[in-house]
Amino acid sequence: MDKIILQGMEFYGYHGVMPEERTLGQRFIVDLELELDLRPAGESDDLELTINYARVFELVESVVKGAPRRLIESVAEAIASAVLEQFPVAASTVRVKKPQAPAPGHFAWMAVEIRRTRR
């Protein structure tokens, strides 16, 4: 299956279990892979036969900047569900990274990754 990949989308949101995460907020990074047949768009050079990246970006942004959630697992599920509902994709893989997760030690980010398919 072909893929459209949106990587490193950064947004500010208020998700987390700790009270300060929900009041101060923090940066989240989202990677998204959309699986679909890109041959018709590639052969015709017609935007209507593929997915508009800007619309996907706006959708992801609305979820991350939207209602606070305790878990990034929930953020990822909301993104995957919205993508499958609004775009003609066979599957969606969502990775939500949390660079400032409240954990001891040094790390680049902590994340969850889920893959959901159309039923």
Name the 3-class secondary structure at 95: strand
Options 3, 65, 97, 98, the catalytic residue: 98
- The type of residue at 101 is A
Q: Which residues contact 108 (CB under 8 A, 6 or more apart)?
A: 99
3-state secondary structure of 114: strand
* Residue whose C-alpha is closest to residue 86's, from 41, 54, 55: 55
- For CA atoms 53, 86, 58, 68, the dihedral sign is negative
CA distance 1 to 3: 7
98 is catalytic: yes
Catalytic residues: 98
